[in-house]
Every structure is written in structure tokens, then in C-alpha cells.
Amino acid sequence: MRVLVVEDDGETAEYICTSLKALGHVTKHASDGKQGFLDALDNDFDVIVVDRMLPGLDGLTLVKSVRGANVDTPILFLSALGGLNDRVNGLEAGADDYLVKPFAFSELSARLTALARRPPMQAEETRLQVADLEIDLIRHTVCRSGQEIAVQPREFRLLSYLMKNAERVVTRTMLLEAVWDFHFDPNTNVVETHISRLRNKIDKPFDQPLIHTVRGAGYSLHG
Amino acid sequence: MDSLKRKGPSALRTSIRLSLQYSFLYSVLSALVFALAYWFTQYEVQDWVFDQMRSDAATLVEIFELGGDEVLVDRVDALAEVSFQNARVYQLLNAEGAIVSGNLSSVFKNPLPDYLPAQELPLAGEIHDEVTGYWLRADDVGPYLLIQGAGDHIVLEILEALGMALVAGYLAVVILGLVVGVRIGRITERRIAAISNTLTEASCGNLASRIPTTRNARDDLSRVSTEINSMLDQIKRLLESQEQISNDIAHDMRTPLQHLRQRLEKLRDSPMIRPDDISASLDQTEEIIATFNALLRIAQIEGSDRRERFAWNDLREVIGNVTEVFEPTAEDAGIELTIKVPDEHLEVFGDKNLLTQLLSNLVENAIKHCPVGSKVLVLAETTPVGPTLRITDDGPGIECENRERIFRRFFRGEKSRNSPGNGLGLALAKAICDLHGAEITVSENDPGTTFEINFLR
């Protein structure tokens, strides 16, 4: 995917770009807000990373301007602020996701992948399938190898999020935010516990595991 | 600081200049009023003297009509005779213009002037020494012409007395005005100087200094002083909280940073680098960042007045969500986690994220400290005061002497010293409660612990 990185700190920008390139992505770096805005208008990026504090044009204004110019490329805010309302302010300005510095690259990469592949304006699918696992989003049913599996509502929410992001890595914090609306990190390993419950039902009775742990990053559901 | 110092003397000049201006204005006004009073008095007294002469003439006309020529002449003579020191003078002329009676020896030229200086009057005998002139008046009495004169000494004496009173009063007013004005100016100036000094001291770092205030004073300066004092209180609190954070960071972040450094140094010097060593260092970094974030969050919540994102939230939803997240964890730990909520809405005005974190921290805390087989109950109810949230466990409980300290940053009881956690969970919970105007208390559950949060309506 093509990623525009608007970041004034040289070392961070270098770190993001090099790491993304290593994963096979194409990156472009803009070191100030104005350049970032002009680049964003080209509209040929799959996702944009914007630092909150930028010389020239601050990140919040940049995002508002980009949205004002009808560019709907997904944007991820990168911020060292992390204040009480910063996340909400960022999202209200038009960003799609928010990540506080310092961050792990795996977290950034997972979030960018999730953002970039979000299909624009596509009707919500009602049935999802990965390998022999099938779920119905309307009837809230789970089937594997034609065998119906009873899951609790919270397990269904977790599973459907993993299914929607099949093949991709989802991190602990992404799950906490998307499934439980937890915008902070509890010290206890709640996510691991939930995943292990889900595995007991989805994977354990079958030969091939579908939920995989990605070391140092999170989880991935794939065949 | 410089600007504060510069304001001092200019404020001094302002207050004194104002009071001087008022005194000046007051004295000019007083002078005007006094001049008017003087002029009116003179006019009234003169009028009164002429009235007197007119009524005397009228009396003489009556006397003439009743008694005839002789009685009139006698009476005028008698009047002239009894007039002490020639305070009044009379002259009666017959139809031919000859003097028939009175104490004036020669005839006036026509027309008769209203006023003549005393020395120009044809008068025998001594004159009252304060008389400088006479007011004159002519009246017809039958065929006669009566000329009367009245000495102006009455007017002069009255005016003299009045003038003295007026001048004395005027001086008193001006002096008093000046004294009081300057004094008020001085008092104001002193109070402003006290405010200015306090602000200067505060900006120099002495945040304990306060503007002296009297309890009952309600004027604007007292109000400003009180407001500044409470502002200084707030600044002091904020600074203390910041200082506390610096101390906390120094105290509790150095150790993990030291460990991280040791690991990295070891890695640098080791011939073979194992991925596990690097992972351990990264985990350590994560831990430091988590502690740092938690500290920052507490500071942000404590220093925040920002409630603009507050909204009404149903506490039952928050409870449902948090217990759902922790249920499997509790189950794995062999702890029974139950909730008890009312059927109706339990609205709390606040930040949903923070309320979620508050409950999450308390539930997490309970699960962490309770042994297998314990029960944790999350209960919410409406009391007459407001919604109440209670997290009760039957675990080991908290020692009495620690109950006050558990909400402090980095406080960790002896029992939990070796379990994971950064000792910030309850401090964060307390900060969130404070931001929501809620009261959090901890009490003995016998056995176990109860955390109670009272949201005030």
C-alpha cells in the first residue's frame, strides 16, 4: 500500500518509512504541514499518517483541510499529547484512528493495514467466511465445518471483529477499543483470556487452528 | 515581575491624584455656594432695611392722619432723638421744601440717591463707627416729604459674621476634604500595594504569601483580594501536584530505567544476542511507558477542569461492559464476579471512558488481591443523595493503617509488592472520582474490602 507520512521528527519518520518499506509498502515523507497537505491532495495514497504537532500547519488543521478538500483517504493521527480529549478532538477533525507516541511499530502497522483495506462505501456484508468458519452477522450464528457453535454475545463480537479483519494482524489495544470500547490498557491480560475462551470453542475441537498469535503484535485469524 | 513593580507607584499616584481632584472640585463648588450665600444675604438684609423704612413711613402717615402736623413733627423729632449713634436719620420737609424736623441739617439735591457715604451726609453728632454709608428713601406724608436714612452697619455686621462663618466653614471643608481624601488615597494605595506585593512575592516563588483580608469587608478591593488569594491557592495546589509527580517519576521510574539500561549494556557486551533478551528489554520499555502514561493520565485528570465532554451515562451500561470484560479473567482466577443493579436508569454525569476505567481499576484490583474461591460483587443503587457504586470482596482486606494511603501514587501494600502492577490504579480511580465530584471511600467488609463511590447530584 502507499502511505503518506507527515512527521517533522526525522528519526521517527525514518523509522516508520523504513519499517513500512521492509513490509513491502511504498512511503512518501512530508516534513511539514503545508507539504503534507499538498501531498495529501494528490489523493493517490491508501492511508495517511499525520503527526499532531507539525511546523507550518498543525496536524488538526491539516486533517480538517484535507477533509474540506473532499479527500477521504483514511488518516491516522500520531500524537505525543495523549490528553483527555485529544483522541476525540482528533477523530472529530476527521481522522479515522489515533495512536499515542511512543508506540510499537507492530501497533502502527496493524492499524494502518486495518484502515487502508477498509473498503469505501461498501454495503455491510451479512455473512463472513474464513476457511471452513462461517458467521452470520444478522442471526448471530457461528458455524465451522457445517457444525453450529454456540457462543456468548461478547465472544461473537470478538469473533466478528477478527473475521472482518481476517488475514490481518489485530493488536490487543485494537481489540480493546473496537470490541469493548476500552480506550485504556488494563494491566490484567483480559484480551488473552477472551481469546483463549474463543479458541476453546472455535479451534480446539478442530484440527486446523484459525486464531493465531502474532508474537509481539497481537492476533490474526486466517486459514 | 518588572511590570508588577511598575504598577505599584502608578497605582499610588492614581489613588492620591483622584482624592486631590475630588478635594479641588469640592472646594471650587463650596466657594461658589458660599459666594452665592453671601450675595443673597446682602440682598435680603438690604431689602429688609428698606422694608423697615417703608413701614416706618407708613406709620408716620397714620400718625399724621390721626394727630395732624404737630404730632407728626414731634414724632419725627423723637425718632431722630432716640436714634442711637445716628443709626437712623430723618428729615421732614414741608410743601415749600423747608426742613421742619429731623437730624439732617441740609436739604438733598434732587433726585435723592439710594445710597450715600456717611461723610457726605449733613449730619450733626457722632456716627456709629461701623456705618460707612446710608441707604436713603423718600416718602410723602400728607403734604410733607419724609426722607429717611438707615446706616449700613447692620448689613455689614451680618455680612461680616456670615463671611467669617463661611470662610471658616470653607477652610474646614477644604482642609477636611484634603485630609480625608489623601487618607482614603493612602489606605487604597496601601491595599493595592499589599496586593501588588503579594503578587510579586508569588511570582518570585513564594506561593504561601496571601493578601491580608478582613472577613466582613465587601468592597471591590476585598473581593479582588479574595479572588487573587483563591487563585494562588489553586496555583499552589497545581504546583504541589506537579512536584509530587516529579518526585514520583524520580522515585518509581528510575528503577525500571536502570534495569533496562543494565539489560542493554549486557546485550552490547555479549557476543551473541538472543531474541529473548531483546524481547525482555522491549517488555521493560512497555512497562515504563505504561507507568509513564498512567502517571500522565492522573496528572491530566487532576489538573483538568475540562468537563466539556461530560454527558449523562447510564452506570448500568458501564458496569455491564466492565464486568463482561473481566468475567473470564475472574473465572480463571476462581473468583465469582456478580453484579447487582437496579431496573431503572442510573444516570451519572461524566466521561464514559473515565467511568469505565474507574470501575475497571477497582474490579481489577479486587480480582488481583483475592484468593481462589472469593466473591466480588459490583453493586449500584440510587440513594437520596445520588447514585452509589460499591465494589465488595471477601478477600484478605486492607490493613487499617493502609486505608488512607492506598489512593496515593505508587503505594503498594506488603502483600502485593511482588505481584505485577504499578501501584497507580487506585490513585487514578481517586483522580477520576475527584474530577466527577464523587467521593470514594474504602472500608472493612469483615472479611474483605468495600470500595464505595458516592456520586453527588
Our CA-based measurement puts residue A175 at a distance from the nearest CA of chain B, in whole angstroms, of 11
Q: How many angstroms separate the CA atoms of A206 and A208, rounded? A: 6
- Quote the pLDDT of residue B117: 84
pLDDT one-digit tens code per residue, B53-97: 899 889 888 888 888 888 888 888 888 888 777 788 888 888 888
| Weakest-pLDDT range from B23-32, B281-290, B371-380 | B23-32
The candidate with the shortest Cα–Cα distance to B84, out of B177, B20, B154, is: B154
Q: Which residue would you say has higher pLDDT here, B14 or A96? A: A96
B223-259 per-residue burial string, b: 16 or more CB within 10 A, e: under 16: eebeebbeebeeeeeeeeeeeebeebbeebbeebeee
Chain A hits for B321, Cβ within 8 Å: 180-181
- Quote the pLDDT of residue B416: 56
**B268 has a pLDDT exceeding 70:** yes
Tell me the helix, strand and coil percentages in chain B, rounded to 5: 60, 15, 25
Is the domain spanning B2-156 CATH 3.30.450? The answer is yes
- Quote the pLDDT of residue B15: 67
Residues of chain A with pLDDT > 90, as a percent, come to 65
DSSP A150: -
- Quote the pLDDT of residue B5: 43
Q: How many angstroms separate the CA atoms of B27 and B31, rounded? A: 6
Residues of chain A with pLDDT > 70, as a percent, come to 95
Our CA-based measurement puts residue A110 at a distance from the nearest CA of chain B, in whole angstroms, of 17
Is the domain spanning B229-302 CATH 1.10.287? The answer is yes
Q: Which residue would you say has higher pLDDT here, A186 or A156? A: A156
The residue count for chain B: 457
- How large is the average pLDDT for residues B301-307? 72
C-alpha cell at A157: 463480537
C-alpha cell at A10: 526525522
Q: Which residue would you say has higher pLDDT here, A28 or B224? A: A28
Contact A187 B329 (CB under 8 A): no
- How large is the average pLDDT for residues B177-195? 82
**B6 has a pLDDT exceeding 50:** no
Domain A2-116: which CATH number of 3.40.50.10470, 3.40.605.10, 3.40.50.2300, 1.25.40.80? 3.40.50.2300
C-alpha cell at A125: 456484508
Chain A hits for B300, Cβ within 8 Å: 83-84
- Phi first, then psi: give them for residue B8, nearest 5 degrees: -50, -65
Q: Which residues contact B237 (CB under 8 A, 6 or more apart)?
A: none
List residues bridging with A76 in a β-sheet: A49, A97
pLDDT, chain B, mean: 83
**B286 has a pLDDT exceeding 50:** yes
**A144 has a pLDDT exceeding 90:** yes
* Cis amide bond preceding A102, omega within 30: yes
Confidence of residue A18 (pLDDT cuts 50, 70, 90): very high
**In chain B, where the domains are located:** 2-156, 229-302, 311-455
What 3-state DSSP class applies to B109?
coil
The residue count for chain A: 223
The candidate with the shortest Cα–Cα distance to B363, out of B395, B400, B410, is: B395
- How large is the average pLDDT for residues A159-183? 92
Query: Mutate which of A87, A187, A193 to disrupt the B interface (most B C-beta within 10 Å)?
Result: A187
Tell me how crowded residue A151 is: count the other CB atoms within 10 A of its CB.
Answer: 20
Contact A181 B321 (CB under 8 A): yes
Q: Are B149 and B121 in contact (CB under 8 A)?
A: yes
**In chain A, where the domains are located:** 2-116, 127-221
Chain A residue nearest residue B423, CA to CA? A187
**A117 has a pLDDT exceeding 70:** no
Confidence of residue B306 (pLDDT cuts 50, 70, 90): low
DSSP B425: H
Q: How far is CA A128 from the centre of its chain?
A: 19
Contact A187 B364 (CB under 8 A): yes
- How large is the average pLDDT for residues A91-100? 91
- Quote the pLDDT of residue A124: 67
Chain B residue nearest residue A192, CA to CA? B329
What 3-state DSSP class applies to A2?
strand
The candidate with the shortest Cα–Cα distance to B427, out of B233, B246, B296, is: B296
DSSP B106: S
- Phi first, then psi: give them for residue B250, nearest 5 degrees: -55, -40
Q: Which residues contact B358 (CB under 8 A, 6 or more apart)?
A: B428, B429, B432, B433, B453
Instruction: Let me know how many helices (H) and strands (E) chain B has, helices first.
Output: 8, 12
Q: Which residue would you say has higher pLDDT here, B181 or B318? A: B318
Confidence of residue A214 (pLDDT cuts 50, 70, 90): very high
pTM above 0.80, yes or no: no
What 3-state DSSP class applies to A143?
strand
User: Shortest CB distance from B293 goes to which of A82, A180, A190?
Assistant: A82
- How large is the average pLDDT for residues A60-88? 87
Domain A127-221: which CATH number of 3.40.50.300, 1.10.10.10, 3.40.50.720, 3.20.20.140? 1.10.10.10
Q: Could you give the angle at the alpha carbon of B318 between the alpha carbons of B316 and B323, nearest 5°?
A: 95
| Weakest-pLDDT range from B52-61, B281-290, B293-302, B447-456 | B293-302
Confidence of residue B3 (pLDDT cuts 50, 70, 90): very low
pLDDT, chain A, mean: 89
Q: How many angstroms separate the CA atoms of B263 and B277, rounded? A: 8
Q: How many angstroms separate the CA atoms of B349 and B311, rounded? A: 5
Our CA-based measurement puts residue B326 at a distance from the nearest CA of chain A, in whole angstroms, of 6
Q: How far is CA A187 from the centre of its chain?
A: 21
- How large is the average pLDDT for residues B366-391? 92
Chain B residue nearest residue A104, CA to CA? B286
Contact A180 B324 (CB under 8 A): yes
Q: ipTM score here?
A: 0.87
Chain B residue nearest residue A189, CA to CA? B329
CATH of the domain spanning B311-455: 3.30.565.10
Residue A204, classified by CB atoms within 10 Å of its CB into exposed (0-12), middle (13-18) or buried (19+), is exposed
